[in-house]
Structure 1
Amino acid sequence: MSIVIRPYFYVFILLIVLVQPLFAQKEGYSGYYLIKREYENRANNDSSALPLIEKYIAKAKGEKNYPRLVEGYLDAIQYSPHPNAKLKYADSAILAANLTKNDSILSRAYLHKGIVYYFNFKKYKLALAEYMVAYEYSKKTNDQYHKNRLAYLIGVVKSYIGHYDEALVLFKQTKTFFEAESRKNINRNLIYGNIRGYYNSLHQMAVCYRYIGIPKSADSLTNIGLSLTTGNKDFSQEYGYFLKEKGISQYYEKDYQNSIKSLNGSLISIASVDDFAWATVCYSYIGKSYQELGDHNKSKLYFKKVDSVFQKHNFILPELRNNYEQLITEYRKENNPQKELYYTTQLIKADSTIGQDFAYLSSKIHREYDLRDLREEKMRLEQNSTVSAWVNRTLGIIAGILVIAFVVKYRAEKRIREKYRIVEQKILNGDLVPSRDESVKKSDIEKEIVDDLLDKLDDFESNLGFLESGITLNKLALKFDTNHTYLSQIINEYKGNNFKRYLVELRIAYITKRLYQEEKLLSYKIETLAEECGIASRSNFSDLFQEINGIRPKDFIRKRWEDIAREKKAFEV
């Protein structure tokens, strides 16, 4: 019976051959894809994603896949809830990006560090510096989405520092680009990014129009933004920003009740992303609205919220300066010199901060109280209260002592941290005990004898023979079936120490490595640790540990505990 092979069978075989390379390519990326899909849909600042991201980073490091490594660090920025951790990941992303030698990747890395400075620290000058580096790299690429995103962020910083006309030009450009791109049939994530870019450009244009005194244009853009984002959970943050602008507009229209309602509504979204800059603007206008309504207790409550943010972040926008003027006036009316003095001092500090961070705007602010008047008023208030002056002087002395103590402690702590990191690096590199040096022949002893004794010393070290109580040069020579003269000479020449020092360094290296690797040993007493490595005296052990490692054992243990605590916190779910 003959077998008939039909034509479609050949087609089937051909398809397998053609499709196989595609599957092979997909398989090559599947490891990263499988990790990333486990966390990519989680909310920003969700620390439960970090263990997966660390796995992604470790894979990229192991494979020396630097573009993927950059991607991992950028994801870590997105999901880490702590600003300082975000900044650390941003620095790591830049280091990895440099290894790629890719202008587009380098531009993205610097861009994200700028975002951290801008959004999480409100350090606008630092943010702008990073953005400008990113801009220089972006000029060598064709990624229009990235270029417009960068233009938007530069515009935001320009707006914050008072260059509204320059910022408006950039926002008009990005609005046009993102609006057009959002209508294209492209990747869903890109569409989402373009829509967000469009909404954020609208919001920033409204802000600029408000500041340069064109409220109709600001209101028109705000209403467009609200119509597009109301009820849309995907853009609740953008809705909050548009609602903020509406509340500010209602304040200037003297619709104070609705202004309070809108601003409180906007705070729900703004506070959820910890945007304390815009939150303080909301607090200020709510306070002003209550003031216009005659409710001075509530107005002071919201003005104080602005001061709380200033105390926590050392940040204040120029337009919020008059909050302090209002508080000073209120407490003067209430005949409360302590509160009046406090907010006078805070206003002087605020002026100093504004002068540094917003130099361009600082000269344009209308001031009910100029700096000279403030200082004179502060002096008057201090002189009116002898007790207050005495307390301030005492606190100044205490503060000075504390500062000196802090500096001394900080420097000592810095030295300890540096020594600890040096020892840690030696442990990780396996360099705690120097290896044998056979680069040149140092001894007139026969080579066969030298090699034999060096091999036996290697076995002695690996089998922890140095932990034996009462071990001496003579005893070890007997074990090695040699004379003590040969053994002493070879230890001196190839290990770089006499026998006693050689033994001590092996013992200290052994206990140092165990302290680093075994958490339970960190709870042991110093006497117990000394016994564990064959050293009889506690004080002798501590002195030898510091002499060899450059750090006392109690400080090494404390630093190791700190590292373990940080590692556990970073991987908490």
Structure 2
Amino acid sequence: MLFDQSKQLLDTLIKTAIEDNKNIEQPILIAKIYQLQAVNFLFLKDYQKSQIFLDKSNSYLHKNSQAVTYVKAENTIYQTNILVANKDYTKAKNILTKLRNTLDSGENIKFLQALISERLANCYFLENDYQSAIEELTKSLEVLGELPYLLLKNKIYDDLSKNYLAINDTDKFEFYNKRYLDLNQKITSNQKEGISYLIKITKDLEENNADEIQKKVRFNTFLVLGISLVLIGFLVVYFVVETQRTKGLKKQIVFLNQRHISSNKTSENIEIKPINNLDISKVDDEIVSKTNKNVRQLVIPIETQKEILEKLNQFEKSDLFLNNDLSLATLASHLETNTKYVSDIINSYKGKNYNAYVNELRINHIVSLLENDPSYLNYKVSYLAEKAGFSTHSLFAAVFKSVTGVSPNAFIKQLKA
């Protein structure tokens, strides 16, 4: 709703301040207004219109000044967000790297440099290259130093915690997750005040007729610039927050649909569903070729692949994955093979790395217990974490939300309703 209101406000600003007033001599202001409208469409997932408004913004950026360079760089970063949304990660990384190399090292540019590193890290994370993502995020924090860019710092803390979670580094996950939660609490009150102010501005403009709006805009174009800058700040916040919330809702719907398709829930027969289970008898050269279309070609003999997959399916039906001491090495030993074979098979056939694979099995197990045994709805989350084989409460909660789209408490509340 906020983005719809912002879009309507900007439609008015564009008409009254730009299209109906051809003599405006502030191209940087016009460029910022068009840029903000591009951000609106980016959030609304209308990437074609977002690109159109970015192009309009760039068309007003001709002068050679630091302000123009800054806005151009922002537009380029927004353009890479469109590429990422279309899963063109390689092109996005190339553009971001080139942009970083062309920027100066002045203090006014540090925010952009940090933002570029954060966006690069996002590309690496989506490609499952967690180590490269961590390197870029660490670089981003070093660039920011003590500068007061709290929103970006908080996003970096959150991203770091997710990457360390992906590689199962519990200590660093706990460290950055705590930093994220602490800083997020500090930011929340400021967000509420800003949103209230933004809504008030929108309502005030809507209550005036078009002639009055036009008169006010022409009388003081700096007021328009102030509104635009306020909107930019809070739209960036909402773009991050609402995008994460929407992803969580979508993930929850997908997770629940997968669990309940053709399911027959009974308390006597709790089924732990295998992940991406395969018909072992049909594993042949053609399937191997198709499975590895987007990853490196496996060099494991077909018969060995069949054997490991069959043992993995048996492993999924057992409760061995609930062992807190389970590691890739111990799993490989249990399957009577080596760690490289197990890792490659899981990546290629299960579509995820070892840690994500085991964590998803654990969460599915707990979800099955919650759904089928009402007594588990009354247990503390700390007990469920221990039952699932997680070392800490917070790690379990983070993994649970990453798999299901909601927190353990929210999931239990839904089942009780």
| Coarse TM-score class (shorter-chain normalised) | 0.3 to 0.5
User: Which structure is richer in relative contact order (CA contacts within 8 A, separation 6 or more)?
Assistant: 2
- Whichever of the two has the greater Rg, that structure is 1
TM-score (norm. length: structure 2)? 0.47
TM-score (norm. length: structure 1)? 0.35
